[in-house]
């Protein structure tokens, strides 16, 4: 445990030094690819899961690149209890919290990809459909799909391209806390 904490501290110090002064990923024209720097210095055991989720989103979209530890547009935290959730401060910026207890019941990669989806502008859609990433916990613990549907991926691409307008874009770039529902599965009594 001590060595793990030491490594985390070293990683945090290194990252903090490298990212001073960085506030926005890439304020370039909407048509250019945007880099979203995510920070895993507080991600605990979920670092590799975060990297896998970033790759999934990079492959699913055409105009954004999630890059590890080049800045802090997106901070990823490991927490225990209270539920996984996402805090989007603006499109592509915010914080994701992954509950270690939920990650023992639900696929950690699906939780991670889902919560990052909120940062990328997607709302929840708890319709129980496992083919949707944003159905989250409603699809049950047996659903391990970590991939956005083509519609979900297209929506993110369009949001970052600036081709969505009006109320839809407005709701996607708002500062929102997504307190997610990944229902606990209770052990049967007796």
Tell me which residues touch Zn ion (CB under 5 A). Answer: 124, 136, 178, 180
Minimum distance between the CB of residue 132 and Zn ion, rounded to whole angstroms? 11
Minimum distance between the CB of residue 115 and Zn ion, rounded to whole angstroms? 7
- Quick check: 133 and 109 in contact, CB under 8 A? no
Q: Name the residue nearer to Zn ion (CB basis): 70 or 109.
A: 109
Q: Name the residue nearer to Zn ion (CB basis): 152 or 180.
A: 180
- The reply to whether 115 belongs to the active site is yes
Minimum distance between the CB of residue 136 and Zn ion, rounded to whole angstroms? 5
Cα→Cα distances 148→10, 19, 55, 120, 178, Å? 34, 30, 12, 11, 17
Minimum distance between the CB of residue 5 and Zn ion, rounded to whole angstroms? 30
Structure tokens at 36: 């979203």
Q: Name the residue nearer to Zn ion (CB basis): 37 or 115.
A: 115
Q: Name the residue nearer to Zn ion (CB basis): 108 or 136.
A: 136
34, 93, 111, 115: the catalytic one is 115
Question: Which residues carry out catalysis?
Answer: 115
């Amino acid at each position: 445990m001590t060595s793990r904490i030491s490594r985390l501290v070293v990683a945090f110090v290194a990252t903090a030094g490298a990212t001073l002064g960085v506030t926005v990923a890439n304020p370039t024209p909407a048509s250019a690819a945007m880099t979203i720097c995510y920070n895993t210095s507080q991600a605990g055991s979920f670092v590799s899961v975060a990297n896998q989720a970033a790759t999934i989103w990079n492959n699913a979209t055409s105009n954004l690149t999630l890059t590890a530890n080049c800045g802090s547009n997106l901070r990823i935290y490991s927490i225990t209890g209270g539920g996984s959730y996402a805090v989007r401060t603006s499109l592509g910026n915010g914080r994701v919290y992954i509950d270690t207890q939920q990650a023992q019941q639900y696929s950690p990669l699906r939780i991670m990809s889902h919560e990052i989806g909120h940062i990328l502008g997607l709302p929840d859609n708890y319709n129980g459909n496992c083919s949707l990433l944003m159905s989250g916990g409603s699809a049950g613990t047996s659903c391990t799909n970590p991939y956005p549907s083509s519609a979900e991926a297209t929506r993110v691409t369009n949001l970052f391209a600036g081709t969505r307008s009006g109320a839809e874009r407005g709701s996607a770039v708002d500062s929102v806390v997504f307190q997610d529902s990944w229902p606990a599965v209770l052990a049967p009594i007796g």
